[in-house]
Amino acid sequence: MTFRSIPLIALSSVLFALSSASRSYCTPPPTDPDQDFKLLLQKIAAEPPDPCDPPNGPDDKASEIEFHLFERAASFVVQELNADPGGARPPHHRATGALKKLERLSAEIDSAWPEENRFHFQVLDLTPALVVKMTIRTHDSFFVFGIPEESPGKPNRLWQEVGSDGDFAGEGWFGNQLDLYPLHRGPSGNARFLVVFNNSGCAGNAIGIAYEAREWDPKSGSGYSGAIIKQEGSLGLSTTPGVHAPTPKDPFAPIGELKTEGPLLTLPYCWFSAIDTWDNPSMCAVDTYDLSGDNVRFRSRAYNRPDLVPIAKAIEYAQQRDFPAVLAYCASGGVARRLVRDIPPDAHADDLRVTRTANGMERIELVGLSTTYRFDVEKRAGRWLVVAFSEE
């Protein structure tokens, strides 16, 4: 070795060291999702297991921790799915194994909480997709995992997160639970599933319900799962989520049942309207969708009280001064104009009286403290319409 080569070697060594240091500084080593998850569990362990519990009450800080906790858990699932893509263990087994590790961490760190408030999960195997439900405290979330055929624009063999519950974040609610159901696949065989969200507040009787059906096509250019059905509503106090059994004694009993098996999907729900006489929705419906084809089609809507639908809808649109919409529920333009002109923005009833006046005809009175609104409705060609309106 010549003396002239020594400085060159030394210089090369220095440049290599500087280059390595620069790469290390610019591209930090990947974090350990397992460790990040543990730190987030330690932070949230200081919070009450139920966000409505005193002394803190609802806390945006805790909700942010929950959000990051779910995100880290999803990252950990992706990491484990891609750790041995050609291995003998099926993907849903690898995802389950990863999530069990996180579940055990929560059992240790959140041991002071009731068991049901700690981190838990459910894996729905919809090969070639996986849908994972995650829960912590009183909040649920879901993530969809799959291998898009292109990512982006190039052949892909790696698992990715291809969807989550961002569209129904439950804003304004402090308890949101969800349930997952596999759905009938169309001729293309794409994975489909239904998410049923049940949201509740810290006080009061309101219970919100939302349905979102999704489909994932690995050939899709976006790579993400897309919504194919969305429906929001409310639930009554005596309503069991998913089971709506009408009873003869209840004049406003919900209608229909949640059915997710087979090519026909039925979604029951209720909503608050001007005809409600207490803190409970009177109007309910059940929607039916046909899943037999690649394009999901709406088939029908049935109501628990079709005779009251035109009144509830006419008042709703009259308060918005939307004459064409009101006219759709009235037998004449005169009646529709009178409703648009006279209905106040706070029209409601303390008592609702229904009197049958003839076959296919009824008089409905919305009795308030100072005003009574009187509607005559008639069934024409299978539809109930408002044929007369007055107030006293």
CA atoms within 13 Å, Cβ hemisphere of 27: 3
3-class state of residue 55 by DSSP: coil
Where is 143: in which H helix or E strand? strand 139-146
132-167 per-position pLDDT tens digit: 999 999 899 999 999 998 766 666 789 999 999 874
Q: Which of 120, 100, 106 is nearest to 41 (CA)?
A: 106
State residue 203's pLDDT score: 60
Burial of 326 (0-12, 13-18, 19+ CB in 10 A): buried
Asked if residues 208 and 173 have their Cβ atoms less than 8 Å apart, the reply is yes
Eight-state DSSP code of residue 320 = T
What is the share, in percent, of the chain residues with pLDDT greater than 70? 80
State residue 287's pLDDT score: 98
CA dist., res. 87 & res. 85, Å (int):
6
Cα 219 versus chain centre, distance:
25
Please state the domain extents for the chain.
Answer: 31-150+157-164, 165-305, 309-391
Q: Is the dihedral of CA 319, 320, 321, 325 positive or negative?
A: negative
Q: Which range has the top average pLDDT, 47-56, 107-116, 142-151, 204-213?
A: 107-116
Residue 42 has pLDDT above 90, yes or no: yes
> Residue 37 — very low, low, confident or very high, per pLDDT cuts 50/70/90?
very high
Q: Which residues contact 391 (CB under 8 A, 6 or more apart)?
A: 342, 371, 372, 373, 374
Query: Tokens 């805790």 — which residue?
Result: 62
For 360, other C-beta atoms within 10 Å of its C-beta total 12
CA dist., res. 146 & res. 135, Å (int):
21
Higher pLDDT, 219 or 311: 311
